[in-house]
Structure formats: C-alpha cells, structure tokens
C-alpha cells in the first residue's frame, strides 16, 4: 500500500477533471500525476532514498501537494513543518528528528539545490542535512508530524500509508466525497492534510485554494468555481458571517468547521446570513476525524456530532467532573481504525501510547441522550487562535529568555474573531527596566511564529504558584480570570 497509488489511480479514472485549482491555474488529475512523477525524479537525483525523513516547509499551493506525493512515491517519509516557523523553530525540528533533508519554499543561505514544480513553475529548494539517517522501524511510514499531541510535550506523530488509508475510508462514510465535489481549502496544509486532501484526491474531488482570507474574495471563489463543500476554521466563518454583500453560496452542500471550538454566535450569524448550518468536526492528528455533526448541526450547534460508525467513544474518571446539561462528563477516549502507529521522539509504540487500545484525547466531554458529543474543557491549557494551537510553556520559555524578564505566565483570552488570543503576565527583574509590551512582542517575533506571539502583555509583581509543587497557577482558560 502506498498513498501515491491512490493518486495514480485517480489520474487514470478522472483524467482531465480538475484536481487542484489555484487562482487561474487549473491542474487536472492527469497533470497532477505527471507533475508528481517529474518532481519524484528530481528528488531522486537530489539523493532522496526510501525510509528517509524529509522536512517539508512550504506554503499552501499545488506544489505542496505535488512534493508530498512525490516523496511518498519514493517511499520517503514526509515531515511537515509550519511555513510560518522561524529559523530557530525549523532548526529544532531538523535536529531533533535528524531529518535527511529539508525542502523549503525559500532559499535559506548556501548549499541548497533548486528544483521546479512543472506546469505551475514554482521553485523549491532542497538541502541535505543528515543523509545517512534512515528509519528502520518495521512500519511503512508515510508521515511524521512534529507536534505537541495531547501531553504538551513535543513529539513526532507517526502514521503509516495503511493507517492513513483506513482513516480516509472511515471519514468518507459520513462526508460522501465524490468526483462531483469541489472543496474550498483555507487551512494550512502543514497542519491539515492526511484526513482531508488525501481523501479528496482519492475520490476525484477538486480542491480549490482560497485566494485570500477576506469574505468577498472567498465568496467570489465559491461562486466562480462552483464550490460544494467548505472546510475551514471558525475564524473564516466569522469573517463570512460578517459579510454585508448579497452574495450567497447556492451550490454549497456542507460547511464544516474544524481546528477549534465553534462559538455559538458564529454559528447563528452564519446561518442567518446564508441559510446554511455549520457542521462542527472533531479531529486529532493521532486519530483523525472521529466526529462530524452533519445530521443535526442547527439543532445541536454546540456538539461536534455523533461518533463516526467505525469508532467507539468512552469516558473515564467521570466522578472528577460535574454533570453538564444532564450529561455525565469525563475524560474522552476513542478506539478505532486509522490511529497513529506511535510517537517518534521519544519512540513510543502504539501499544504503550494507547490505554488498553484507547486513545486519551485530553478533552473533557459527554454524550447527550441522542449520542452527540459535547466538549467542555481541556485537561491541559492549550490556546487555540484562528485554528492554530499554541502551548503556553513554549511562549513562556521565549519570554523568559529576555534579560529583563524574571518569569512569565502565558494563557488564552477569548476573542470574537480568532477564538482566543495569546496573553501573558510578565514579572520584570527591575521595575524601572527599559522594556515595554511592544519590545517584548518584537523579541518574541524573532524566534516564534507570528500566531504564537502574545497579543496582550500585562506586567505584574508576581506569578501565582501552587504551594505544593511550585507550578504556575494559570488563569481560567479563555477568560483571563483566576
């Protein structure tokens, strides 16, 4: 099993049907397969071998898709890296994962080979890093996402070709993607790919890349390209809900909200504006999309839906959490096909990563009488800003590197458009220090991705800690209150 085989088969079945549409560039399925083969030959000439871990730091584009499948064709392992990462963050991933090479959308100094994605004529830059490192895991690895998972500790989530195939088959029992669909794509490909783009291309659907973040350009694209399905974060739906034009979405059959919780006001305003309900989806990189509220999105807008047919849900430690709206709440676990094969660094096989075959999500939630899942809280303090996840300790470590900062506490504060913003409370070594919030933000921007930089920084005399362990007492997530 190789995921490239799905694309090759799609190229034979769907031929001239559009596979990827980027502005005025339309790439057919036949063209896409030919592009993948040409780029694979180029990468082979650059020295890519089966089993190598190859970092991919690239912006959303047809080239991103082509390079990913070209690496899979060569039996290499794709390690996606956020295109918004700073050099220091990229170096951390390269070093920790011992990547054989890096593919980047920009040239970064010397020692880079230059390749070109045909038809779209987009250059890419290739640099060998640890070429002698090859993975001998016994797993047919396709993908390792260097992420923080549910524990807050960075690790690589390992997925094989077979597991990715299993999860897209399970998801499509609910989504029913066909070659008649055109999907508007807005999310970063480095964060969302294996449960979505792989599925769309396997089914012959057309992927339409958004031409901007503003509502008018998105609506124009939806109408011009006959989009049938939206897949976006609440941030995009908030912009669309606020649109004041008379443009509608007559061909859209399904609008899915993912990446973070969907605020009720966005759901209500979006429905009022377009007469189209928003369907929440619940997915985690380790397990894929396991819940989608496609059946009753307007009746149950706060729910992420029922569990997909191939999965099982369990709640544990229910005695530790109060019942909410008549639901027994507990720590949410899932079991089913397509789950990750393990963690890469440190290496943890799935039998040890799972709890008796169940995956612990880190979420607190419960099922209503109809079997619809509602999520109420996270066990850990994860900040969701515009669909991107931020881990407070990483931001605190950067703030604390500043010579004037004694310590800091980072947390999420609610924001109508972004879901949350990153906020921080900072203690300085000296009250008369010549640093303000703007200076600290500029300092963070040097090493952190833009979405991780605190938008609000307050200065305080002390950071509250627990008496027993000395751990930081964080504000209630989202509210900014203790």
pLDDT tens sequence across 260-285:
778 778 899 999 999 999 999 999 99
Could you tell me how many residues make up the chain? 482
Report d(CA 84, CA 79) in Å as an integer.
15
The chain-wide mean pLDDT, for the chain, equals 90
Give the domain range for residue 435.
Answer: 383-459
Instruction: Read off the pLDDT band of 387 (50, 70, 90).
Output: confident
47, pLDDT greater than 90: yes
Q: Are residues 368 and 397 in the same domain?
A: no
Among 356, 376, 396, the domain boundary falls at: 376
The mean per-residue pLDDT over the stretch 230-252 comes to 93
The number of folded domains in the chain is 2
- One domain, residues 165 and 295: yes
Same domain, 372 and 437: no
* Assigned domain for 474 exists: no
Q: Are residues 314 and 355 in the same domain?
A: yes
Q: Are 48 and 74 in contact (CB under 8 A)?
A: yes
- 189-203 mean pLDDT: 95
Average pLDDT of the residues in 106-119: 91
- What is the reported pLDDT for 339? 97
Same domain, 357 and 422: no
Reduced to 3 states, what is the DSSP secondary structure of residue 21?
strand
pTM for this predicted structure = 0.82
E strand segments, 196-261: 206-209, 229-232, 254-257
Give the chain's radius of gyration (CA, Å): 22
Q: Is residue 466 part of a domain?
A: no
* 3-state secondary structure (DSSP) of residue 226: coil
**CATH value at residue 64:** 3.40.50.12780
* Same structural domain, 194 and 85: yes
Residues 300 and 437 in one domain: no
Q: Quick one: 61 and 113 in the same domain?
A: yes
The answer to whether residue 473 sits within a structural domain is: no
The span from the CA of 311 to the CA of 306, in Å, is 10
Query: Torsion angle of alpha carbons 332, 333, 336, 337, nearest 10°?
Result: 90
- Asked if 241 and 270 touch (Cβ cutoff 8 Å), the reply is yes
Task: In whole angstroms, give the CA distance from residue 435 to residue 427.
Answer: 12
* Predicted local distance difference test score (pLDDT) of residue 477: 53
**Residues 247, 227 within the same domain:** yes
| SS3 state at 246 | coil
Are both 239 and 285 inside the same structural domain?
yes
Instruction: Give pLDDT tens digits for 292-344.
Output: 999 998 899 889 999 999 999 999 989 877 687 788 888 999 999 999 999 99
Question: Looking at the structure, do residues 388 and 354 belong to the same domain, yes or no?
Answer: no
434: domain CATH number is: 3.30.300.30
Residue 470 forms part of a structural domain: no
Task: Work out the burial of residue 468: count CB atoms within 10 Å of its CB; fewer than 13 is exposed, 13-18 middle, 19 or more buried.
Answer: exposed
298 and 315 share a domain? yes
**2-41: per-residue pLDDT in tens?**
999 999 999 999 999 999 999 999 999 999 999 999 999 9
């Amino acid at each position: 099993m190789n995921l490239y085989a799905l694309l090759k088969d799609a190229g034979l079945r769907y031929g001239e049907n559009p596979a990827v549409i980027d502005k005025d560039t339309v790439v057919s399925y036949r063209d896409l397969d030919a592009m993948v083969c040409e780029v694979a030959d180029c990468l082979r000439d650059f020295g890519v071998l089966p089993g190598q871990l190859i970092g991919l730091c690239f912006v959303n584009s047809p080239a991103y898709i082509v390079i990913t499948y070209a690496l899979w064709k060569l039996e290499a392992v794709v390690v996606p890296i956020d295109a918004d990462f700073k050099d220091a963050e990229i170096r951390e991933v390269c070093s920790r994962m011992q990547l054989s090479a890096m593919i980047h959308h920009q040239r970064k100094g010397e020692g880079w080979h230059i390749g070109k994605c045909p038809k779209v004529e987009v250059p890419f830059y290739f640099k060998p890093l640890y070429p002698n490192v090859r993975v001998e895991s016994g797993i047919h690895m396709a993908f390792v996402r260097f992420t923080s998972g549910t524990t807050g500790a960075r690790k690589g989530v390992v997925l094989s070709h077979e597991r990715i195939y299993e999860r897209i088959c399970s998801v499509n029992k609910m989504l029913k993607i066909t070659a008649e669909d055109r999907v508007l794509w807005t999310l970063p490909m480095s964060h969302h790919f294996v449960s979505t783009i792989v599925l769309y291309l396997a089914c012959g659907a057309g992927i339409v890349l958004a031409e901007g973040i503003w509502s008018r350009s998105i609506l124009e694209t939806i109408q011009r390209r006959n989009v049938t399905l939206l897949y976006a974060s609440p941030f995009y739906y908030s912009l669309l809900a606020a649109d004041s034009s008379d443009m509608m979405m007559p061909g859209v059959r399904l609008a899915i909200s993912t990446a973070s919780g969907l605020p009720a006001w966005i759901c209500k305003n979006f429905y009022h504006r377009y007469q189209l309900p928003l369907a929440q989806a619940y997915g985690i990189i380790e397990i894929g999309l396991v819940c989608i509220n496609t059946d009753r999105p307007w009746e149950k807008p706060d729910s992420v839906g029922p569990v997909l047919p191939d999965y099982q849900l369990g709640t544990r430690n229910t005695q530790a959490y109060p019942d909410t709206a008549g639901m027994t709440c507990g720590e949410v676990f899932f079991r089913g096909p397509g789950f990750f094969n393990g963690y890469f660094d440190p290496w943890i096989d799935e039998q040890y990563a799972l709890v008796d075959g169940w995956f612990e999500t880190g979420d607190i939630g419960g099922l209503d009488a109809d079997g619809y899942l509602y999520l109420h809280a996270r066990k850990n303090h994860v900040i969701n800003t515009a669909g991107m996840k931020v881990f407070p300790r990483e931001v605190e470590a950067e703030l604390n590197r500043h010579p004037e900062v004694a310590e800091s506490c980072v947390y999420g504060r609610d924001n109508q458009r972004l879901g949350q913003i990153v906020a921080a409370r900072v203690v300085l070594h000296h009250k008369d220090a010549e640093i303000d919030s703007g200076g600290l933000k500029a300092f963070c921007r040097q090493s952190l991705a833009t979405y991780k930089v605190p938008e609000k920084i307050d200065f305080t005399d002390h950071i509250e800690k627990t008496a027993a362990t000395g751990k930081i007492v964080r504000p209630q997530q989202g509210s900014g209150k203790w």
